[in-house]
Amino acid sequence: MDARQIMDSDAFKRCQAFHGHVCGGLAIGYLAATAGLDWLREKRALDEELVAIVETDACCVDAIQALTGCTFGKGNLIHRDYGKMGFTFFNRRTGRGVRLAMKPDAFRVNDRQITLFRKTRDGSITDSERAELDALGMQRTVDVLNTRAEDLFSISAVTAGMPDKARIEPSTPCARCGEPTMASKLETVDGARVCRGCLA
C-alpha cells in the first residue's frame, strides 16, 4: 500500500482517532506496529496475549496502542525511558519476539520542524508558521508511510526478556490520607504505611 491507501485504511484511521491528529510520529508507530504484528503473525491483543516494550513515549506509541492492543491500562505496554525509537513485541503464546529499532538517519525531523514545534510549545507560533508546520508534518507522514518497514527499522528476533504479566492486588488505605492504595506501593514511615502521594 502507498501512503494514501494507508491513510484511507480503517487501521490508520483508528490510530488517528485515538491520537487526535496525524503526524510523522504516528506514521512511524503505524509502520512499527504493523511490521511487528506481521512478524509475530498476530492480530490485535484483546487481553495480554501480546506485550510491547517501547523505548520512547513519543507519538508513535499511540499507533502501537491502537493497533496492537498493548495499552498503558492493560499493563502489556512497558515503557523503558531510553529516548529511542525502539519497539519490541512479544507473543506470550508462542514466546516469539521481535525488536524494531529506527535506523540511524533513516528519518530525521528537519531543523525547521523543530524550530516550529518549539514555537507551538511556547505559544509564539504565527498562523502562517502553523500552516507551514502542518504542511511539513503531512509531507513527513507521507514520506514515512511510503517507506518500507525494513528500510526504516533494523528488525531482529528477540528470544529473552519477556516481561511478567500485570499484577492485580487489593488496596489498603494510606495511613495519612486514607485513600485506598496498592499495598506494594505503600512506604513505611515511622511504622505507618504511607502512600507515595503523601510523601511526594
Q: Which of 43, 108, 112, 130 binds a second copy (CB under 8 A)?
A: 108
- Output the smallest distance, CB 192 to a second copy, in A: 16
- Dihedral sign of CA atoms 40, 43, 45, 48 in order: negative
For cell 528500510, what's the residue? Answer: 151
Q: Return d(Cα 28, Cα 6) in angstroms, integer.
A: 12
In the complex with a second copy, the residue whose CB is nearer, 2 or 45, is 45
Which one of the spans 4-12, 128-136, 137-145, 161-169 is the region binding a second copy (CB under 8 A)? Answer: 161-169
Minimum distance of a second copy from residue 8's CB (angstroms): 19
* Per-residue mark of binding to a second copy, 5-44 (x: CB under 8 A): -------------xxxx---xx--x--------------x
19 and 60 in contact (C-beta within 8 Å)? no
Pairing of strands 77-79, 86-91: unpaired
Nearer to a second copy, 170 or 191 (CB): 170
Q: How many CB atoms lie within 10 A of CB 17?
A: 9
Distance, CA of 59 to CA of 194 (rounded, Å): 35
Cα distance between residue 66 and residue 70, in whole Å: 8
Under the binding rule (CB under 8 A), the answer on residue 105 touching a second copy is: yes
Task: Determine, following the binding rule CB under 8 A, whether residue 79 of this chain makes contact with a second copy.
Answer: yes
C-alpha cell at 13: 484511521
Q: Which residues bind a second copy (CB under 8 A)?
A: 18-21, 25-26, 29, 44-47, 55-66, 69, 71-75, 77, 79-86, 101-102, 104-105, 108-109, 111, 114, 117-118, 121, 165-166, 168-171, 173-174, 178-182, 184-186, 195-197, 200
